[in-house]
Amino acid sequence: MSAFTKLAPSARREFLARVGSGFGALALDYILRRDTLEAEAAGHVFDPLQPLQRRDPHLSAKAHSVIWLFMEGGPSHLDLFDPKPELERLSGTPMPASFGKVITAMGTASNTLMPSKRRFSRHGQSGHWISDWYPHIARNADDLTIIRSCRADGLNHVGSVCQMNTGDILAGRPSLGAWATYGLGTSNENLPTFVVMTDAAEVLGGPKNWSAGFLPTVFQGTQLRQGNVPIFHLAAPMGVDDARQRGKLDFLRTLNGRLGARRPEDSELAARLDSYELAYRMQAAAPEAVDIGRETEATKALYGLDNPATEKFGQICLRARRLVERGVRFVQCYSGSGSGWDAHNDLEANHSKLCLSSDKPIAGLLADLKARGLLESTLVIWGGEFGRTPFNEKGLGRDHNPWGFTTWMAGGGAKPGTVVGSTDEIGLRAVDRPVHVHDLHATILHLMGLDHERLTYPHNGRGERPTINAGEVITEAVEA
């Protein structure tokens, strides 16, 4: 049928050899090829003709994949993981001057201090302090590495969400998932390798949070939508059945093959030919990967799919596990997407709902990964773009706090049962062992086997790296 398949076998072989196989068939132009040489000189090697080809890590990788549970809007560390008895004592008084001056998003710094209404207790052998908002997660306490001294640079959501993803509060830099994909390539060519899922509205700042920035766009994140067609244009429009699609693709392959045969040196044309075959395979692979209908009732219950309150985020967590099982490297799951955790007015009402909706799914994910032996190779991260202030806003809420907040990790080489750093007596600022966003990024990459200082890409005259000019691996948080 197809003239391409009628090409002389040797011509065809030569043609395809250039393309490599699978996702490796993505090609860039010659300028990028030279950039590659520069990147190589700077310490990182990738072949722009096969940008998603699997690449060796710099270091021995502990985490094959990352699942990042992003509590968007800023969960309150003071009411979840970082109890502050001092706030009881100072309740109702303005913040003592000794804690220094801060500019806050809503101008609340002179409001009175507000203690937590939650009950904290210690859990597991590690004795991690976790509040009664997260009872299921608390049962997994010994898996957690809790970093209580995180800090960031932004005051407002969009800059801070952007920084947590890209390292900078100003948009334009590549997301950490894009860097990881650039560094390691893919291990499943039929699926996107950096995936984003949301449970509510659009993430503040939108797709630029998973953008490839100045890296080639092939490294950008793909948002998987709910429902059966998780990627735009994954299926042909109604009325185009498989036979018709296949017929058209075969003809297209003939057209492109004939043109390519006249230009055997042009690997980009060959790559474009092959990209249609990959697209065709992805049409089948992606819906299968997110089809949770194939899971047992017990598994579904583990993630809370049997309860309307936990069903939505539970589905996302379960999809995350299925993706990781299929080799996807970087999965981001947004809880409260569209700044849901942003409790300015009524912390109790806001967090009660969001903690309920995320607690069981997250605990289920940890337990399920562990039971399947995947937790060792999967780094789970929980956190927001910042925490919340010890002083009140409008009496019952808390303002944004980028000066001190909590992030935790589990699995993937993170050191279980450990606490890193602390905030001051009222939980305003990180004081002991402050951990900047760049340090978090350096650590995540380290666990994936990438050295954040060697992972560079030439851009505007600079060998850019994920951590800009800073970042240190948090050695205390990493298993030896």
Cβ 207 to another protein shortest distance, Å:
7
156 vs 307 by CB, closer to another protein: 156
Our CB check for another protein shows the closer of 74 and 449 to be 74
Task: Tell which positions 312-351 bind another protein, by CB under 8 A.
Answer: none
Distance CA 297, CA 313 (A): 17
When asked if residue 217 is in the footprint of another protein (CB under 8 A), the reply is: yes
**Which residue lies nearer to another protein by CB, 116 or 198?**
198
- Tell me if 431 sits within 8 A of 377, measured CB to CB: no
| Min dist. Cβ of residue 39 to another protein (A) | 13
Sign of the dihedral through C-alpha 351, 139, 435, 437? negative
Rg of the chain over all Cα atoms, to the nearest angstrom: 24
- Mask for 420-449, x = binds another protein (CB under 8 A): ------------------------------
Taking CA atoms, 355 is separated from 85, 306, 335, 384, in Å, by: 22, 17, 10, 13
| Of the residues 10, 98, 296, 460, which one makes contact with another protein according to CB under 8 A | 460
Q: For residues 197 and 332, what is the distance between their CA atoms, to the nearest angstrom?
A: 6
Does 394 sit near another protein (CB under 8 A)?
Answer: no
Please name the amino acid found at residue 216: P
The residues in 157-196 that bind another protein, with binding defined as CB under 8 A, are 157-159, 170-172
CB of 369 to another protein, least distance (A): 28
Nearer to another protein among residue 45 and residue 259 (C-beta): 259
Q: Please report how close the Cβ of residue 72 comes to another protein at its closest, in angstroms.
A: 12
- For residues 330 and 322, what is the distance between their CA atoms, to the nearest angstrom? 12
Q: How far is CA 393 from CA 84, 351, 363, in A?
A: 18, 15, 31
Name residues contacting another protein, limited to 238-277 (CB under 8 A): 239-241, 243-245, 247-249, 251-252, 254-256, 258-260, 262-266, 268-269, 271-273, 275-276
To another protein, the closest distance from the beta carbon of 147 in angstroms equals: 25
Which of 202, 288, 291, 346 is close enough to bind another protein by CB under 8 A? 202
Q: Name the minimum Å distance from CB 448 to another protein.
A: 23
Helical packing angle, 347-371 and 308-325, nearest 10°: 40
Would you say 278 or 410 has its CB closer to another protein?
278
How far apart (Å, rounded) are the C-alpha atoms in residues 80 and 475?
A: 24
Which residue lies nearer to another protein by CB, 316 or 356? 316
**Rounded least distance, CB 106 to another protein, Å:** 5
Please report, as residue ranges, which positions from 18 to 57 form the binding site for another protein (by CB under 8 A).
23, 25-34, 51
Least Å distance, CB 466 to another protein, is 17
* Residues binding another protein: number (CB under 8 A): 86
**Smallest gap from residue 112 Cβ to another protein (A):** 16
Q: Does 282 bind another protein (CB under 8 A)?
A: yes
* Window of 54-62, 149-157, 323-331, 445-453 that interacts with another protein by CB under 8 A: 149-157
Interaction pattern, residues 56-85, with another protein; x per rule: CB under 8 A: ------------------------------
- Residue 218 interacts with another protein (CB under 8 A): yes or no: yes
Structure tokens at 7: 């090409």
Binding residues for another protein restricted to 128-147, rule: CB under 8 A: none
Return the range that interacts with another protein (CB under 8 A); candidates 60-68, 228-236, 322-330, 420-428.
228-236
Residue 158 beta carbon to another protein: minimum distance, rounded to whole angstroms: 4
Minimum gap (Å) between residue 409 Cβ and another protein? 28
* Interface positions, 93-112, toward another protein (CB under 8 A): 103-107
CA separation for the pair 294, 235 (Å, rounded)? 20
Distances (CA, A) of 287 to 52, 227, 231, 295: 21, 9, 9, 14
Residue closer to another protein (CB basis): 202 or 291: 202
What's the rounded Cα separation, in Å, for the pair 273 and 256?
A: 6
In the complex, the smallest distance separating the C-beta of residue 148 from another protein, rounded to whole angstroms, is: 26
CB atoms inside a 10 Å sphere around CB 241: 10
Name the one range near another protein by CB under 8 A: 39-47, 176-184, 230-238, 377-385. Answer: 230-238
Residue 287: CB minimum distance to another protein, A:
13
Look at residues 47, 69, 332 and name the one whose alpha carbon lies nearest to residue 177: 332
Strands 457-459 and 462-464: antiparallel
If one asks whether residue 395 binds another protein (CB under 8 A), the answer comes out as no
